[in-house]
Amino acid sequence: MKRYGNATKLIIALALTAGITTGGISPAQAANETKQIKNVIILIPDGMPSDATALARWYKGSDLALDEIASGLVRTHSADAPIADSAPAGTALATGHKSHTGFVGVLPDEATMPGEDPIAPGDARKPVASVLEAARLAGKSTGIIATSEIMHATPADFTSHYPSRKEYDILSKQQVYSGVDVVLGGGSSYLSPEGRADGDNLIASIKALGYEYVTTPEAMAKSSSSKLWGMFSSKAMAYDMDRNPAEQPSLAEMTAKAIEVLSKDEDGFFLMIEGSKVDWAAHANDPIGILSDVLAFDDAVKTALDFAKQDGETVVVAVTDHGNGGLTIGNSSTTGTYDTEPLSTFIDPLKRAKLTGEGLEAKLNSDRTNIQAVMAEYFGITDLSNEEIQAIRDAKAGSMNYTVGPMISKRSGIGWTTGGHTGGDVVLYAYSPTNDRPSGVIDNTDVAKYMARVLGLDLDAVSSQLFVPAKQAFAAKGAEVVLDLNDAKNPKAIVTKGSTKLELQIHKNIAILNGAKKTLKGVNVFNGSDLFVPQDAVDLIK
């Protein structure tokens, strides 16, 4: 802690009295500089369109929790494209490195966007450490929350490493053995033997690792465990507007529980929270899904901010990984009347909806003969055309929001430019008790670097510690490495040197040295061509 001499104390006292600043820094800011940041909470409303917060604010009728902490803009491009997929966009936020479409927590094959440094020879697809992993090695507790499957791109970016976001078997196994303290979200089917190509029972593994495994909001609330794993849906969780509170907790409730558990650690914590299905609604051009989950996300932001303001040692960051859909308040129908349209033109049709398009699908009977009654009751639409009725009747299971989202958009003057991601800058929101927060236009990689800096973490050093190229490292010790990938459930690498035999279980943090089990500081990562292991695995060979 800084100590001030008598002269400095006098200057600060005078400044406090006169309301002046010293050297451009207020006395309050000077005092804040002595505060230690122990915790970081990052909240990601995946794929949130730029106009979504304005629409949500009008719909809600009051300010958002996000509003008071807006601080700048973030560039969202990936290493080789101006419009990013969630996997490289999340990798940038998690690790401070750009990557390629579909790549999770690894470097790209090449970096071709203007201003990007080329990838060093031999570094393509190499794993890089996330802020979460660095925080864990520094002794902090860690957690991830998502309303999608927990092994979906963004939560996986903070906890896993593989050049394909589709490989749920691999990503989820790494997550289970990553040492994260709190995991809350959806995706239980991908942890059970029946839902996995490798047939592994990761739910049993989770329990064996000491987690309390819960599946209901009630069980989550009652848990007193310091290691908590909550799965509230077999796949993604419901949109908040469609959610059954007895079966699934809200994003704010999961946030509060994670903070309750993690904040018990005197060394601090790192928590990542994703409002996953904002992105899914934007892909579907479904404004009701957008409103549902942007507002639910904002409630989670308020929960995090309330804690941070009371705690005094917590930084809160909120930022989407990329835009999506190109939502606009106003569409082609308002071209000539945009400045005379009342607020009711845009909001009243949205207010009539009681469910998202996804939730509405469950209200249709099997032969879909009740389309008009359902649309009137749950969407407030009573003027369906014959073409719209047929479109609803023909909609494939699981895609109803893609069909009815544009219908309510048309009636509410909401415009969309695409069903895909967009490449514009997005708003950065940040709160710090010391007022040390990014501003201006920054890169998405700078978000990770900022979080690492305020926590005193060195991401490059952690990458070097966690992801050592195994072949070269063991060869330097006179040892031989052989990969055994025949058993999909238990792939491994066998390292031998004389009479010493070391088994490294791939995508787990487990090593077996001459029959004795060891727990490593990180997982053994095989990226499809090369094996990377923690330094403490290398150190087992003498």
Q: Which of 50, 71, 86, 233 is an active site residue?
A: 86
On whether the CB atoms of residues 320 and 46 are closer than 8 A, the answer is yes
**Is 100 among the annotated ligand-binding positions?**
no
DSSP 144: E
**Is 46 among the annotated ligand-binding positions?**
yes
**Is 460 among the annotated ligand-binding positions?**
no
- Report the C-alpha gap between 144 and 314 in whole angstroms: 17
- Report the C-alpha gap between 163 and 161 in whole angstroms: 7
Other CB atoms within a 10 A radius of the CB of residue 296 amount to 21
**Is 321 among the annotated ligand-binding positions?**
yes
**Is 377 among the annotated ligand-binding positions?**
no
- Report the C-alpha gap between 278 and 408 in whole angstroms: 17
**Is 77 among the annotated ligand-binding positions?**
no
| Residues composing the chain | 542
**Is 67 among the annotated ligand-binding positions?**
no
The alpha carbon torsion through 41, 437, 82, 109 (nearest 10 deg) reads: -60
Among 74, 42, 65, 41, smallest CA distance to 294 is for 65
Among 217, 229, 214, 221, smallest CA distance to 180 is for 229
Q: Is-catalytic flag, 86?
A: yes
Phi, psi of 63 (to 5 degrees): -65, 160
- Report the C-alpha gap between 277 and 147 in whole angstroms: 7
Which helix (H) or strand (E) segment holds residue 358: the answer is helix 357-361
Distances (CA, A) of 462 to 171, 377, 379, 466, 470: 20, 55, 51, 6, 16
3-state SS record for 493-514: EEEEECCEEEEEEECCCEEEEC
Residue 290 tokens read as: 């957008």
Tell me the three state secondary structure of residue 234.
Answer: coil
**Is 274 among the annotated ligand-binding positions?**
yes
Residue bearing tokens 């989550």: 220
CA-only gyration radius of the chain, Å: 25
**Is 154 among the annotated ligand-binding positions?**
yes
- Report the C-alpha gap between 492 and 481 in whole angstroms: 10
Q: What sign does the CA torsion over 185, 143, 152, 484 have?
A: negative
List residues with catalytic annotation. Answer: 86
> Binding site membership: which residues?
46, 152, 154, 274, 279, 283, 321-322, 421
Residue numbers belonging to the annotated binding site for Mg(2+): 46, 152, 154, 274
Q: Which residues are annotated as a binding site for Zn(2+)?
A: 46, 279, 283, 321-322, 421
